Amino acid sequence: MLRRTLVVCAVSLVTWALVGVIASSREYVASAERGRAAAWWPLVASWLRCYGIWALLTPPVWFLTQRLPLTSRQWLRRLPLYAAAACAFLLASRSLFALGAVVWRTESVQAAFDPERLLRSIVLALHSDMAAFAGIVLAGHFALLLIRHKERERRAAQLESMLRLAQLETLKMQLNPHFLFNTLNTIGMLMREDVKRASRVLTELSDLLRKALDNAGTQETPLRDELALLRHYLEIEQTRFGDRLRIALHVAPEALDVKVPFFILQPLVENALRHGVARRPGPGAIEIRAVRREDQLEIEILDNGEGVRGEPVKEQTNGIGLANTQARLERLYGPRYCLRLIGGIENGFGVAFSVPWKTA
């Protein structure tokens, strides 16, 4: 509150000082044209004293407009209050002018505060004082409109941010049950074949879920941490596929600290396993590559499955993995991302996406 009061007072003084300089300049030019040029500095000082009084009266009127604005619903009820404030402004202005005349020793106290003279001064200055009062009221209401507009913009930005965050959290919640369902199916099959292997899968699943829960609410994470999280999932799948599955990582060292969406790799690798490696009769392979392309981090997930020739991923892409990934990238980065299908290993299938190069 104190800071706002100081700002209003400073703006009031500067504004009325400029008005005073402009008024004195006009009078100086007019007197020069008449051949009776007035002294510049005394003329400026006279006008500044005049407008300085209005500068002193501006803050109270300003705060009246901020506290009790003439809104569409209440302007009629508040109009008498503004009329009383205008009368008070007029009386205070003329009284301060009289006091100034005494302080500057241009008039005596008795002459300056003579009731008849004060009344005549009020009548003569009625139009100028009321114009000044109206100008302050209009400026206050204009400032109030700007403040409310900025506040609406700020709240709209906050709501948009909260909505985007809620959408991202919804997308993450969609992925978790999907992943759990598939992993529990794997554990169920292993329980009938190898209890020790099923136990190892449960341990990896526990570690994976613990890390996922520790990062609840996180939207971005360094690629290094994302790969560490992915390794738990790959250990689960390696237990399932055994020697049939070969995993290769080709990650540029400088890319490890770049931020990527949290839990972005798992659904894409899961797609590669389910729709590529699992359908292949022979050994399967998955490669994960991460390199810098100008100001973007590009990540590729490739498999040697049946293969799908690359077209840009469309909104109607079937399957929760790709559709969810595209939705998350779009909400996080807007137009600054790319997601596309590419050829994989040995004519297999691949997915590539790029995000802004942003280090942690």
pLDDT at 178: 60
| Beta strands 245-251; 284-293: pairing state | parallel
> What percent of the chain stands above pLDDT 90?
18
Q: What is the CATH number of the domain that holds 270?
A: 3.30.565.10
Give the chain's mean pLDDT: 81
Q: What is the mean pLDDT of residues 32-50?
A: 74
Identify the CA nearest to 258 among candidates 289, 223, 218: 223
pLDDT of residue 168: 54
User: Highest mean pLDDT: which of 52-56, 60-64, 113-117, 289-293?
Assistant: 289-293
Of the pLDDT bands very low, low, confident and very high (cuts 50, 70, 90), residue 307 is low
Count the domains in the chain: 2
Check whether residue 143 and residue 260 sit in a common domain. no
Taking the C-alpha atoms of residue 77 and residue 3, their distance in angstroms, rounded to an integer, is 31
Q: Give pLDDT, residue 290.
A: 96
Per the CB < 8 A criterion, the answer to whether 245 and 277 are in contact is: yes
Does residue 53 share a domain with residue 186? no
- C-beta separation of 190 from 240 below 8 A: yes
Q: What is the pLDDT of residue 71?
A: 77
Instruction: Tell which of 100, 128, 155 closes a domain.
Output: 155
Confidence of residue 165 (pLDDT cuts 50, 70, 90): low
Same-domain status, 189 and 74: no
pLDDT at position 311 over 50: no
Q: 171: number of CA atoms within 13 Å, CB side?
A: 26
- Residue-level pLDDT at 321: 67
Average pLDDT over residues 280-302: 92
pLDDT at 331 over 90: no
Confidence of residue 163 (pLDDT cuts 50, 70, 90): low
Give the highest mean pLDDT range of 72-76, 89-93, 94-98, 188-192. 89-93
Residues 178 and 127 in one domain: no
Listed residues 124, 155, 186: the one ending a domain: 155
Query: 295 lies in which domain range?
Result: 162-356
In three-state secondary structure terms, 292 is strand
Kindly state whether residues 77 and 182 are assigned to the same domain: no
pLDDT digits (tens, 9 = 90+) for 140-162: 888 888 888 888 888 877 767 66
